[in-house]
Structure 1
Amino acid sequence: MLTVPGFDLVRLPGADGVELAAAVGGSGSPVVLLHGFPQTHLMWRHLAARLAREHLVICPDLRGYGASDKPAATGPEVYAKRTMAADVVSLAAALGHQRFALVGHDRGALVAFRAGLDHPEAITHLGLLDVVPTLDMWRVLHGTSAAVGYHLYLMAQPPGLPETMIANSADAFFGSFLDAWADDPSAMPDEVRAEYLRASAAAVTSIVADFRASAEIDVRHDRADLDAGSQLAMPVTVVQQDWGAQLGFDAAGVWRAWAPDLDHRLTRAGHFMAEEAPDEIGAAVRDLLAR
């Protein structure tokens, strides 16, 4: 498998006996980077190298993805973002760090968001790339604009049909997102694209379980926090495409309701911004860490 050049690939304990594969490099204060869909920790190869000059950088594959364990979804909590957030806190502790900065992209950003709410004592700084919280995501998708998120509805269906449909056309399914969401295809070389497709095809069942959790248990957890008035206590930076203009809502306002100490930025890069615009994203992360 491909990994971040110059980093060590190790296995670290997550929650509930699950082990996560992680690329680890550099030294200094710790920063954990969580990848998105349909990717692995390899998406951080540019940013990780930059951050490793000053920080210990930890890039795990989320549970159910890449080379990490893929436990059977015996209940909704197995792939709940709450459980995946506990994975992150556990693996950092295994490396001797009770507090760390956390940056996530896409699915990884949803895990990071949950970690910020559930483990404020552990997360010093929080960076979130190209998402809105799960509860808000379902609220802002409506009418024909929701077609952009058809996969969310497909993978929310009961077990059986989504897994079969996706497994029977895995390269076409996962490849369609790599094509549609990239503004600069050259930022994802052939060997990197092939690694994402290989890893995703081998993880169809667990990837669907992750998305299904976001239509069920994750919504309940977010709503409980909203009703309780919970907010992110640490400095937060959000970088995203102009979702508000595309879908007709105030993206910065959505995030400000959760994050009082917010730096909200728009980018002209595509969804895979850490690969397409590593200098821009690197600057945003360095600014976050300086707050």
Structure 2
Amino acid sequence: MNHTAFDYQRVQVSAGIELNVATTGSGTPVVLLHGFPQTHLMWRHVAAGLAADHTVIMPDLRGYGDSDKPQDTGETYGKRAMAQDVVDVAKALGHDRFALVGHDRGALVAFRAALDHADKITHLASLDVLPTLDMWDVMHGTSAAVGFHLFLMAQPPGLPEQLIGASPDAFFGHFLDAWGATPFPADIRDEYLRASREAVTSIVADYRASATIDVEHDSKDKDARNRLTMPVTVLQQDWGTALGFDAKARWSAWTQDLDHRTVPYGHFMAEEAPDEIAQMIRELQKR
């Protein structure tokens, strides 16, 4: 599904992979990265609020939506490779520096991009996720059952793909229904299911990378005490209380200039509260 207000193009990135990229507006560039199990369409309302004075760039991540879904080699869906995609897309569209906003899986890609390409990311925003190492650290005990999919898709190739592929609409629909504060419009929900149904193998590979190559890369940065140098805004639900951790403290360990906010929205906050998310992005870029 294409959004009528967006312009679309296929953009080739350094690995010879083409991403489906939607754009709108004009002005200073902002790249928006979607989460699971969604596509660039999750930003449709936020983009409308930014288009008057921003060039809004919304790729489908590799392996998602209508972007290419290359075979996994172990590093193909690592966040380092996916972050390079983002930099390559922005450059192809004429932008060497840009603000970057990510939700869920897209926020993990944005986090890696900000570590690897600090000279290109002017501002960073993360919606409702923890950095990978912190995510694994806090997921323990019975409260971690909410993240069962993390452990399922971390398993070696074969079983996760078989189980999810046997009933993809039930699997992906579970998260669309359980994580949102309000139901999705039927056509948007159907599109998310269609896109996910066609991407089971690559989505699993993305999650598997977060238990393998991403842990390796993030651990090296943590050991080297590398931190995010640009202004960072984090919006999160109050799930730290349920899982027994301090989300702001977790993020503070990775940042130098942090604005951390606990918000009353559901996980899919860009669609539930788009005006507020757009305003946050504007405020971030004034820092």
Tell me, yes or no, whether TM beats 0.5: yes
Match of 1:173 in 2: 171
- Give the distance between the partners of 2:161 and 2:2, measured in 1 at CA: 26
1:203 pairs, out of 188, 199, 203, with 199
Matched, 1:226 2:222: yes
1:99 is aligned to 97
Query: Offset at 1:14?
Result: 1.9
Partner residue of 1:249? 245
Residues 142-200 of structure 1: CA distance to partner in whole angstroms, max 9, x if unpaired?
A: 00011010000000001011001101100000000001001111xx2000000000000
Deviation, 1:15, is: 2.9
In the alignment, which residue of structure 1 is the partner of 2:47? 48
Equivalence map 1:107-146=2 (5 Å): 107-146=105-144
TM-fit CA distance, 1:279: 1.6
User: Letter of the aligned partner of 1:26 in structure 2?
Assistant: G
**Unaligned ranges ≥5, structure 2:** none
Q: Distance in 2 between matches of 1:226 and 1:114?
A: 12
Find the counterpart in structure 2 of residue 62 from structure 1: 61
Deviations 1:102-153 (A, max 9, x none): 0000000000000000000110000100000001100000000110100000
Offset of residue 243 of structure 1? 2.1
Contact 1:2 1:195 survives alignment (8 Å): no
1:103 counterpart letter in structure 2: V
SS at match of 1:258: coil
Identical aligned residues as a percent:
68
1:239 matched to which residue of 2?
Answer: 235
- Maintained 8 Å contact 1:15/1:83: no
User: Which residue identity does 1:56 align to in structure 2?
Assistant: T
**Is 2:61 the partner of 1:80?**
no
Tell me, in whole angstroms, the C-alpha distance in 2 between the residues paired with 1:63 and 1:14.
10
| Cross-structure match for 1:2 | 2
- Following superposition, the deviation at residue 290 of structure 1 comes to 1.2
Tell me how far apart the structure 1 counterparts of residues 136 and 149 of structure 2 sit (CA, whole Å).
Answer: 13
- The amino acid of 2:60's aligned partner reads D
Deviation at 1:209, TM superposition (A): 0.3
- The answer (yes or no) to whether the contact 1:231–1:260 under 8 Å persists in 2 is yes
What is the alpha-carbon distance in structure 2 between the residues aligned to residue 242 and residue 2 of structure 1?
33
Q: Who is 2:12 aligned against?
A: 13
Q: Given the alignment of the two structures, is residue 261 of structure 1 paired with residue 262 of structure 2, yes or no?
A: no
Q: Which amino acid aligns with 2:2?
A: L
Partners of 1:162 and 1:7 in 2: CA distance: 35
Cross-structure match for 1:154: 152
2:208 corresponds in structure 1 to 212
Residue in structure 1 matched with residue 285 of structure 2 by the alignment: 289
Supply the distance in 2 between the matched residues of 1:87 and 1:173 (Cα, whole angstroms): 27
Q: Could you list the runs of 4 or more consecutive aligned residues of structure 1 that deviate by over 3 angstroms after TM superposition?
A: none
Secondary structure at the counterpart of residue 45 of structure 1? helix
Shift of 1:2: 3.1
Over residues 27-61 of structure 1, what are the superposed CA-to-partner deviations in whole Å (9 max), with x where a residue is unaligned? 11100000000000000000011111110000000
CA contact (8 A) 1:23 1:58 kept: yes
TM superposition shift of 1:283: 1.6
Partner of 1:24: 23
State the one-letter code of the partner of 2:153: M
- SS in structure 1 of the partner of residue 99 of structure 2: strand
Q: Which amino acid aligns with 1:242?
A: D
Structure 1 residues not aligned, in runs of 5+: none
Say how many residue pairs are matched. Answer: 287
